[in-house]
Structure 1
């Protein structure tokens, strides 16, 4: 067969994706704080890659709302934006509900067990106050249903909007309110095991809607400041 053109595209794509994930995780985890300037040269040195994958990663992060760029001047980590977070919550909630509806009719016992195991890790991480491990376990829990849905478009949407919420979720998992998710996860598992599509979808929606208080608090503070 003809040799494909554009040699090196695979490795370049992997470098770009790796750079994207590394910078994204640093922003979500708080290592790169809101408002912090991002210099290409510093990122190149940190990641050990060339400027091209770094710039491609930053462009993707800007599209996701995690960085802001002023061409020729600066790139900064986006401040926490209540409106953007509300929009992201609406979209991700709908996508996870859709994932349940598409995955549940064919969900296997192995996948149910994987959800149960992820929730056990999630509970353990919360008890240790390990926010990073809790976030990872929560990703794994919901990821079972997302993967089982076999809906690539759904996964792409979540890839774009979930990081915006994860910045807020870290606050929730670091508080006592995050521990409510363990019981909510257990209810989702029970409903999935029973084959109750509507019930499981409603439980998943309720789980993601627990972020609402974190979205309301900054807005209330901003309004109070504006009134003074």
Structure 2
């Protein structure tokens, strides 16, 4: 997979901190200090503060009334709410786009699925998450609704935040199995079946998170 180079220092800091939060390198509750971050990343205070403000909007960093900043703590309730919102948005995009998919786009989905599985085998959960998200993005973009994709993008980072887990986590298997089933249905030309299976994947994922994610995380 290819990644665009951030156009500004602020964008670069946003990407770096977002990745560290999503992967769990910066655990929930971690105190965020401007000067320490600036020194570690080799930038000035300004892009660090701008990045923190952006990540606060995304829900990844909490800013207290006294202006201290911490990596957002994730509770089971918060995780389930994020999954519910993501499900509504992503399933709408899938429904609107699935009938517009071309053979090339389905093949691209298959490629993203391979990258997803290979990244997990390599222990790279960040790359796995990106490839898994791209699997859905291909269908959502086929709907032609760019505003919907923009809304999905806003939720993706926060949803991935609850997946700050090892490559061995059983939660990933929900998406591996779901994607494989969807591809088989698309190969058969059964777009309605593919949509139903996509929705079912979210139902199964939510149920597993509800069972496995504890409030003391």
Category of TM-score, reference length = shorter chain: 0.7 to 0.9
Deviation of 1:89 (Å): 0.6
Higher relative contact order (CA 8 A, sep 6+): 2
- Judging changes above 3 Å, is the alpha-carbon distance between structure 1 residues 153 and 49 closer, same or farther for their aligned structure 2 residues? farther
- Judging changes above 3 Å, is the alpha-carbon distance between structure 1 residues 172 and 104 closer, same or farther for their aligned structure 2 residues? farther
Matched, 1:210 2:204: yes
Aligned CA-pair RMSD = 2.5
Matched, 1:105 2:99: yes
Query: Rg: which structure is higher?
Result: 1
Partner of 1:226: none
Consecutive aligned runs of 4 or more in structure 1 exceeding 6 Å deviation:
none
Partner of 1:79: 73
More deviation in 44-53 or 134-143?
44-53
Which residues of structure 2 form unaligned runs of 5+? 1-5
TM-score normalised according to structure 2 size: 0.83
Q: Is the 8 A contact 2:171 2:205 kept in 1?
A: no
1 or 2, which has the higher helix percentage? 1
Which residues of structure 1 form unaligned runs of 5+? 1-11, 223-228
Matched, 1:198 2:192: yes
Q: Distance in 1 between matches of 2:143 and 2:37?
A: 36
Partner of 1:8: none
Q: Deviations over 1:55-92 (max 9, x none)?
A: 22212211222111125541110111322222211111
Q: Distance in 2 between matches of 1:134 and 1:38?
A: 26
Q: 2:148 aligns with which of 150, 154, 159?
A: 154
Partner of 1:52: 46
Q: Distance in 2 between matches of 1:148 and 1:65?
A: 28
Q: Distance in 2 between matches of 1:65 and 1:216?
A: 23
Q: Is the 8 A contact 1:187 1:203 kept in 2?
A: yes
- Judging changes above 3 Å, is the alpha-carbon distance between structure 1 residues 73 and 91 closer, same or farther for their aligned structure 2 residues? closer
TM-score normalised according to structure 1 size: 0.79
- Judging changes above 3 Å, is the alpha-carbon distance between structure 1 residues 120 and 208 closer, same or farther for their aligned structure 2 residues? same
- Judging changes above 3 Å, is the alpha-carbon distance between structure 1 residues 14 and 148 closer, same or farther for their aligned structure 2 residues? farther
